[in-house]
Amino acid sequence: MRTRGGVRLFSAFGFFRSFRFFPGGSFFPLCVCGVFFLAGFAGCSGGGSSSSSPGGRGAQDKGGERITIYFIPRNMGNSYFEALAVGFNNAISQLGENNFNFVYTGPDTAGALRQLPYIEEAVKAGADAIFIAANSDTGLNGAFDKARSAGVRVYSINQDIPGSEAHRDAAILPVPFDVLGAAQVEFLAAQMGYRGEFAILSATREAPDQNTWIAFMREELKKHKYSRMRLVDIVYGKEEREASRKAMRELIGKHPNLRGVIAPTTVGLLAASSIVRELGLAAKIKITGVGLPSEMEEFVLDGTCGGFYLWNPTLQGYMAAFLVWNEKMEGVSPEPAAVFSAGKLGEYTILPSGQIYTSDAPVLYTKANIQEAALLF
């Protein structure tokens, strides 16, 4: 069920299901000190604040129209993408909420064609920019081209669309993907003693980010130190909790000698950990991947999961809002070599590939740092 014109709140870290930010609406303030700290919820629908934009300028001074941004995640109800949306709203509260219309909307389940109506909606609404975590490398190219022809900037966020980069304007990524792919393999290998069978529990078959990470994992596995390890299967949980749990159970049943699993998806890692704990297999099957500290804290502390990787997902949303602001207010076109200010994050340069990384490397979360991180996202 989609909610329009307001906020639906769930748990403190579930954030919200569907969110539209308009002047006078709610926003989530965060403060940035290298990473964001979730300070609390400020404002409520119909009782917004009147924060000013830098230098006292607003979008109205540039023609009287607010900047409209659409953020279309892979699927709604996903805590990871909700954290990205928090980053957008932090930047908007800093830049002046009266300068923006922010729409966070998308399909309930992952699938490339399921995102199409939301792209079309953004174009009809006269959006200035679409940020999308596409469910396919190629399936939305036609829609992207139509949007850009209508004057809408199209940005990939949290991933790129390999082979289809010409159909978007730029891409905001969390970290270099080759680094993340190799890191997951190395961490799992160390837990497994560099020997034995392992598998990958991914999101959807077409997911560009997971498929890219997996490609880099395969490259890493060519190194001699992994010669006694064998990748026996890759399965897909559709970026859904129950489907991921089912896929994990089937993996264990199909491969009785399984000693490790990499789940490069927050939904998959949570599902894999829950199944391993339920079956009492934590001593036999080692788990790592990509996860949210707030969701994975209990599994790390009880030893089910030895550790996993992530970055601060809110940084991408924060940077995205500033990228649009810089073009609209400062005339900085989102082209390779362009330098723009990302507020409290500092200045960034768009790479020749059109990509922008928020961080140089992922963070490994273990018992040593999971509790502090779980308070943030």
Domain boundaries, the chain: 19-175+312-364, 177-310
Res 173: pLDDT: 98
Cα–Cα distance measured from residue 310 to residue 264, given in angstroms and rounded to the nearest whole number = 10
As assigned by CATH, the class of the 19-175+312-364 domain is: alpha beta
Which residue in this structure is represented by tokens 């809110």? 314
Res 42: pLDDT: 29
As assigned by CATH, the class of the 177-310 domain is: alpha beta
How many CA atoms lie within 13 Å of 331's alpha carbon, on the beta-carbon side?
1
Res 59: pLDDT: 57
Res 133: pLDDT: 98
Nearest to 317 by CA among 95, 118, 98: 95
Tell me which residues of the chain have a pLDDT lower than 50. 1-56, 61-62
Classify residue 210 as exposed, middle or buried by CB count within 10 Å of its CB (0-12, 13-18, 19+).
buried
pTM of the model: 0.82
pLDDT digits (tens, 9 = 90+) for 205-248: 999 999 999 999 999 999 999 999 999 999 999 999 999 999 99
Q: Note whether 19-175+312-364 and 177-310 share their fold.
A: yes
Res 58: pLDDT: 59
Cα–Cα distance measured from residue 98 to residue 31, given in angstroms and rounded to the nearest whole number = 20
Res 283: pLDDT: 98
Res 72: pLDDT: 98
Residue pair 182/264 in contact (Cβ under 8 Å)? The answer is: no
Rg value, the chain, Cα: 20
